[in-house]
Structure 1
Amino acid sequence: MTELNLWLHQLLHLLLPNSCLWCQLPVQQAKQQLCDYCIAALPGLSLANHQHNALLLPAVWRGLTPVKFDLLHSLSWYQLPWSHWIRQWKFQQDFACGELLCQQLAKACRLYTSSGGTKPDAVCFVPMSRERRKERGFNQAQQLAAVIADSWQIPLLDIFHSKSTQHQVGLTRQQRRANLRRQFRLQQREKLPPHLLLVDDVITTGATIDQLCRLLRKQQVLRIDVWTLAITPADMTAHHTLPHEQRVCHEPD
């Protein structure tokens, strides 16, 4: 049955190929959301020469310091077309964009380990309040974490709880941190692995990640890696407020 499904999928692709989510031309391969030309042109954040750690980039650590984690890996700066796809997935329930982002994350997992990156013991994700989850229908950070867990065959841990709070959109750094204080709690009773990976979709000020890492450090987690789709450069957060595009697209961080 699996071989038959694969054959039917290939046949459907030949008859009605998907349109590339960037240039709108037909894609060359089944199950892909981008054509080969757009894949080659896709802007990214190359970290191979920086030990896979975006914290070594001045444009990152100037906007996040002090940090409570050890490594930050991201696919790109927060820029087009990534920002468009992330907004469409989160706020318009465009699951084709979500599938594209998950495909690119799975590819990044393969490149990371093949170039010497260390796999964590388990992966967890930024939680979403029950009200926000009901409003959106899914937690994008959880879906991204599931991709990593499947790619590396490591446990996916649902260890955080988030209570309902004010939206983070448009808040300053100080307002975000105050808003997040006591929002999260750790609901894991058993001892956590020494090396954890924490996943979110976008990092702007790092306020959300900071609060979650504090909880993990209290549970004697020795190493915390953070993975995300995109990072906002430090010069975009230097004045503690974000341009219109960031304000409308990114929350809760």
Structure 2
Amino acid sequence: MRCQPRYKLPVYIWLKNKQSCLLCGETTDTPQPICTPCESELPWLVDQCSVCALPLPTPALRCGQCATRPPAFERVVAPWIYDFPVDTLVTRFKHQAKWPLGRLLGELLAQSVQHHFDEGLERPDALVPVPLAARRLRQRGFNQATLLARWLSGPLEIPCEENLLQRVQDTPAQQALDAPARRRNLRHAFALAPGATLRNRHLALVDDVLTTGATAQTLARLLLDAGAARVDVYCLARTPKPGDPA
């Protein structure tokens, strides 16, 4: 006896629907909307500092700066160098609200972070997006770091605490500033949410691009001073050298 009604019309099966690559437009052969050739040609970050992920010409444990002045954060995970086409994808995501591009990058970042977990990287207790200045949030309409943290939270099964950090002071844009000016610019710009308890917690900051590391350093120090045991940084890309615009 048939338990389903007879239906002779074509049935749409969404699992068989093929996607188009967001970079070249060809049909993809991957779960994400990016084809294998385009994914392989992304500027993957290979040789890097084991702490800040600064691209290096040869494999090394630490870059000179991290060896002489270790940062407050423990480890940076970044899949790519901030170069074409990743720089264009990030820019279109942030400044043109092209959310599908950001979602694609976020899913690939989640895969990269999971790979590091499989290789022994300690899993954090929570993901914490870098807060955006109120004026820029009004102009843009969203915080790209918050979206990335949400997109990481599901696949990695790590809670996202998007209100843990607050931007309490608007500051001039960081792009045109050198590293010392960036540090001065960020002084007193951030605060913890009232009543936040961080004792012995391992947290991971989430942002789009790591440039000089001034923002990550400021926030990591704030979290550690409040009782956190460890702070890592998960971002989409690392600039080729400190001070490059992002």
CA contact under 8 A between 2:124 and 2:204: conserved in structure 1? yes
CA contact under 8 A between 1:54 and 1:74: conserved in structure 2? no
**Would you say 1:216 and 2:223 are equivalent positions?**
yes
Q: For 1:224, what is the secondary structure of its paired residue?
A: strand
Q: How far is the alpha carbon of 1:225 from its aligned partner?
A: 0.9
Gaps (5+ residues) in structure 1?
Answer: 1-6
CA contact under 8 A between 1:77 and 1:232: conserved in structure 2? yes
- Counterpart of 2:45 in structure 1 is 45
Gaps (5+ residues) in structure 2?
Answer: 1-11, 57-61
Distance 2:120 2:133 in 1: 36
RMSD of the alignment, in Å?
Answer: 2.6
Distance 1:133 1:58 in 2: 30
CA contact under 8 A between 1:160 and 1:188: conserved in structure 2? no
- Counterpart of 1:191 in structure 2 is 197
Normalised to the residue count of structure 1, the TM-score between the two structures is 0.79
- Counterpart of 2:153 in structure 1 is 149
CA contact under 8 A between 1:53 and 1:71: conserved in structure 2? yes
Q: For 1:165, what is the secondary structure of its paired residue?
A: coil
Q: Residue 207 of structure 2 aligns to which amino acid in structure 1?
A: D
Identity of aligned residues (%): 32
**Would you say 1:164 and 2:170 are equivalent positions?**
yes
- Counterpart of 2:108 in structure 1 is 104
Q: Deviations over 1:218-247 (max 9, x none)?
A: 11211111111111133xx3xx5x3xxx3x
Flag the 1:176–1:57 CA change in 2: closer, same or farther, 3 A: closer
Distance 1:86 1:149 in 2: 19
Distance 1:90 1:56 in 2: 22
Per residue, is there more helix in 1 or in 2? 1
Q: How far is the alpha carbon of 1:153 from its aligned partner?
A: 1.7
**Would you say 1:33 and 2:33 are equivalent positions?**
yes
Q: Residue 42 of structure 1 aligns to which amino acid in structure 2?
A: L
Pick from 101, 114, 119 the counterpart of residue 123 of structure 2. 119
What does 1:220-239 correspond to in 2, within 5 Å? 220-234=227-241, 237=242
**More displaced, 138-147 or 33-42?**
33-42
- Counterpart of 1:3 in structure 2 is none
Q: How many residues align?
A: 226
